[in-house]
Amino acid sequence: MKVCVLASGSGGNSTYIETENYKILIDIGKNRKYIVEKLESIGVNPEEINYIFISHLHDDHISALKTFIKKYHPTIVISSEMFKELEDIHDYEHVLIYEDEVILKNLSVKCIHSSHDATDSRNFVFENGRNSVVYVTDTGYVNHKNFRYLKNKEIYLFESNHDIEKLQHGPYPDWLKKRVLSDYGHLSNNACSLYLTKLIGENTKKIYLMHLSEKNNTEELALNEINHIFDTYNISFRDIKCAKPDEPSEVIEV
């Protein structure tokens, strides 16, 4: 299995996952030109994308969806509630509706409810029997009932959106600060780190911190927080990086 975060942040989000049988995008923010260029930069022909999994309908996750589909015709994988809301998608014939799980050849995808101010928002766990990827972003909290699906996976793509103090003293208006900090907002550096102490295990190989706010966070703050929390819990794992808003990550192979 291969994983590459193409973009992660308020300006656009998209992640590439490749298995033995499939080439997949999780979300498709930014614009088509950006997505195509970044796919080609890692040796992927955009015409080979089989599926686009949609986590939720905020523009930074679907802004390139319509134009990409129009040219390359992948199958959209989307929940029934999101499908009802998404305008114009009915013009395209390649749609796979999910509820709680998608089963493809040699690949299962848990579609876990997240907590965000968007219709039926989801997070994902990809597993092919040997390898596993957890994708958790754009959520105000992680329901402990879902921990069983998230524990001891190989790759964690996990939201670390903001430093609480930097957000509270930052430029956002009060209503937006409250939204970000709410159960329907985003995970802070501290919350991300504490969740990961409960989730990572002996199979874990890589953590990428996702969706860092450009105004309310820095890579240094996010990494310092998770390293501090891991030290506090006597966790020695340190293969942790930050996903960038305008630059693909390394291609992770497991």
Helix H, strand E, coil C: the string for the chain is CEEEEEECCCCCCEEEEECCCCEEEECCCCCHHHHHHHHHHCCCCHHHCCEEECCCCCHHHHCCHHHHHHHHCCEEEEEHHHHHHCCCHHHCCCEEEECCEEEECCEEEEEEECCCCCCCCEEEEEECCCCEEEEECCCCCCCHHHHHHHCCCCEEEEECCECHHHHHCCCCCHHHHHHHHCCCCCCEHHHHHHHHHHHCCCCCCEEEEECCCCCCCCHHHHHHHHHHHHHHCCCCCCCEEECCCCCCCCCEEC
Per CATH, the number for 2-253 is 3.60.15.10
* pLDDT at position 127: 98
CA–CA separation, 86 and 84 (whole Å): 6
pLDDT digits (tens, 9 = 90+) for 209-230: 999 999 999 999 999 999 999 9
Work out the angle between the directed axes of helices 189-199 and 219-232 (0-180°, nearest 10). Answer: 40
CA distances from 142 to 54, 93, 158, 213, 242 (A): 18, 33, 11, 19, 20
- What average pLDDT values come out for the chain (254 residues) when binned by 10 residues? 98 98 98 99 98 97 95 96 81 86 96 97 97 98 98 99 98 97 98 99 99 98 99 98 98 96
* pLDDT at position 244: 98
* pLDDT at position 93: 74
* pLDDT at position 90: 64
CA–CA separation, 112 and 52 (whole Å): 16
Are residues 100 and 111 in contact, defined by beta-carbon separation less than 8 angstroms?
A: yes
Closest listed residue to residue 253, CA positions, set 17, 12, 9, 6: 17
Question: Would you tell me how many other CB atoms lie within 10 Å of the CB of residue 114?
Answer: 26
* pLDDT at position 40: 99
Assigned token pair, 29: 């923010």
Dihedral angle over CA of 219, 210, 234, 221, nearest 10: 20
pLDDT digits (tens, 9 = 90+) for 60-107: 999 999 999 999 999 999 999 999 988 766 666 799 999 999 999 999
* pLDDT at position 199: 99
pTM of the model: 0.97
* pLDDT at position 87: 72
Per-residue buried b or exposed e for 209-237, using 16+ beta carbons within 10 Å of the residue's own CB: bbbbbeebbeeebbbebbeebbeeeeeeb
* pLDDT at position 88: 66
